[in-house]
Chains A and B, each alone.
Chain A
């Protein structure tokens, strides 16, 4: 575990309550630590401060000091140091805490300010909440209810702005709903480094638009939808699909690369509707790539494997397991684990390899890192395989040693856990020489050629953990139930381990973690339930000598070679 850096703490007073906050904290964050909400639109904790929405106006006071003597002035009535309140309000987002700062958020002046700002924001707002996808998670709805005056005095005709503007392949803009907070502009410029958005026209005719000839099409464009406090930017994929108040949120991890961005999976009655990022200041801040948001479609993909098969004939799950166990017992087995499997699955894969005395390998997937939230290693859990001891050196993208062993005739059976062997460099001729046991989620050439095929679960249907590029152990939970007749990978692997004469703790995660924490040194003292939602940093010293493929990404710097 890492310890947070020591920072200078200063004391501020919010609505009469004192709290120590790190230096440089702004008023909104300081009040949030006390559970006091200062409403805001344009301020976002991970973006630069512009202060253009004026919603976070609060009263500010500083301890009184005698100008001549520089001595604190005491209020005779209370015996405490007097506070000089500023006559006019100040914005909370752009005012940093200083020692002795006093903030008032519940005075008539502040209430007036908020009502005024809300009234101006709603002047040209179309109030089409019934057809707006943001309804239910809209800051304008929430703050109009909480801080607005409750009725409209505006009798003039509202402004008309373009609706249904296509900003890019994944983002739609409704200009009437926009409150001109400029979060999306700042995100594109500062975080995504793709400066495509800007305001044109003046006053209440101001309109968000892309620069001429450009589109909001970078791989982080959907983050602008997430941070849009109103329904101006909406996702084309999620548009008109489901109301957010019906959706159940489950914490998960993005599997597209070893960054392991924290995500929330939104589902209703076993159907996933969208994936959004979850804040983790150590990993992904509040962002994630667009490409990872579409992974939920693999759950109901056409090529999903839903039934066990032996030689292409559909059989009962138990029958396929039985046949697989017997095939593995005949010896000459090689095991191909997966860098996309969870830590727990990799641990059982290693157990299986040990029980069968079989060599184990995983397949590396290396792509181009984008320097932000997609790293070069496209396996989410390569380091999990190192931690659990499934592999001892970095994997390669091809299974060269397995290919040699097949050619030499020493391997008769290959068990592959969700890896396409043909894509990993084996030739169809080599594959034809061996019996393949394929435990996987989706159909591919290897699954089609497999002697025994056992369907397994996607990351959205099971619980487990991954180790990301920072050697950070992060857990994910099952968002939707498994399809009928498909068993958890852990149950399948556990049965195979037991049949191979090894001992497998009962398939449940708590029992498995008892074994993991005793057998794997860096996991000592951990249990699945003890992994925090933001993950636990592991001691990576044992693997410091390896040359991982990742380049620099957000919150990750590769060790110097």
Chain B
């Protein structure tokens, strides 16, 4: 079937339209309105947004309020990590640390490759010791691939100390002391 062609007449511009002035005025009105309206953007990076609780930023390792390492290197985060960003070398807590030696196990090395991390938060969810948290650091950069791998020391620097609800291992040690006192 041959295509039918319908010819439309272009409407001639009115006088006001030919001067462009109403359009310029309308545009200026929008511009001037935004000059005086409150700002909706932020002067990043001088200004930083407030990060709300629950935000999933860079995964970090945290200490308990007494500054002790919480991670026991159970490797569940390494197992659950979908992009395999976490790499843990397990180790033993030396017996000469009386405040911690009853925990027996701690990571010798803990690495999170931030080029692999997808910020899913499964590591935080799976952690039985509440030792890994995705906190409020949202921007990381580096000049080499190696510098994008956070090692144990860096992870603790990023993580800092968080309040602890349980003190699981302290309670266990207390129970042990109390139990031994009974016998």
Contacts and interface: CB of A to CB of B under 8 A. Distances in A.
A23 interface: no
Contacts of B128: 129-130
Interface string A155-167: 0011110011000
B120 interface: no
Contacts of B72: 130-131
Interface in B136-168: none
B41 interface: no
B55 interface: no
**Chain B interface size range:** 20 to 34
Given A130-B74, A164-B104, A243 B179 contact: no
B75 A243 contact: yes
Given A130-B129, A243-B79, A160 B175 contact: yes
Contacts of B179: 157, 159-160
A157 B92 contact: no
A246 interface: yes
Given A130-B129, A131-B72, A160 B79 contact: no
Nearest to A242: B90
**Chain A interface size range:** 10 to 19
B29 interface: no
A154 interface: no
Interface string A124-167: 00101111000100000000000000000000011110011000
B101 to A, nearest CB: 9
A388 B105 CA distance: 51
Given A130-B128, A131-B72, A240-B92, A160 B103 contact: no
Interface of A is mostly: loop
Contact of A245 (B79, B92, B129, B175): B79
Nearest to B108: A240
Interface in B10-32: none
Contacts of B75: 242-243, 246
Contact of A131 (B74, B78, B176): B74
B178 A246 contact: no
A212 B129 CA distance: 38
A239 interface: yes
Contacts of B78: 243, 246
B4 interface: no
A6 interface: no
B178 A240 contact: no
Contacts of A135: 74
Nearest to B178: A157
Nearest to B90: A240
B84 to A, nearest CB: 11
A246 B178 CA distance: 38
B180 interface: yes
Contacts, number: 48
Nearest to B128: A130
A163 B169 CA distance: 14
Contacts of B34: none
Contacts of A240: 73, 90-92, 104-105
Given A129-B128, A243-B75, A246-B75, A158 B92 contact: no
A126 B176 CA distance: 11
A241 interface: yes
A328 B135 CA distance: 68
A158 B172 CA distance: 9
A131 B104 contact: yes
Contacts of B103: 131
Interface string A116-130: 000000000010111
Given A130-B129, A131-B104, A157 B74 contact: no
Nearest to B71: A130
Contact of A157 (B105, B175, B180): B175
A128 B72 CA distance: 10
A523 to B, nearest CB: 44
Interface in B90-125: 90-92, 102-105
A382 to B, nearest CB: 41
Nearest to A130: B74
A164 B102 CA distance: 9
A163 B129 CA distance: 20
A100 B75 CA distance: 49
Contact of B172 (A126, A129, A245, A246): A126
A239 B92 contact: yes
A80 B111 CA distance: 66
Interface string A232-262: 0000000111110110000000000000000
Interface in A160-187: 160, 163-164
A160 B104 contact: no
A164 B79 CA distance: 26
A129 B129 CA distance: 11
A333 to B, nearest CB: 48
A521 B26 CA distance: 101
Nearest to A243: B75
A130 B129 CA distance: 8
Contacts of A158: 175
Given A131-B104, A131-B105, A241 B90 contact: yes
Interface in B43-98: 72-76, 78-79, 90-92
A345 B42 CA distance: 72
A246 B86 CA distance: 13
Contacts of A241: 90
A246 B79 contact: yes
A135 B90 CA distance: 14
A42 to B, nearest CB: 26
Contacts of B105: 130-131, 240
Contacts of A164: 104
A243 B176 contact: no
A243 B87 CA distance: 12
Nearest to B102: A163
Contacts of B175: 157-158, 160
A157 B103 CA distance: 19
12 contacts: A130-B74, A130-B76, A157-B175, A160-B176, A163-B104, A164-B104, A240-B92, A240-B105, A243-B74, A243-B75, A245-B79, A246-B79
Given A157-B179, A240-B104, A243-B78, 10 more contacts: A130-B129, A131-B72, A131-B74, A131-B105, A160-B179, A160-B180, A240-B92, A240-B105, A242-B90, A243-B75
10 tightest Cβ-Cβ pairs between the two chains A and B:
A160-B179, A130-B74, A131-B105, A243-B75, A160-B176, A130-B128, A240-B90, A131-B72, A130-B72, A240-B92
Interface of A: 126, 128-131, 135, 157-160, 163-164, 239-243, 245-246
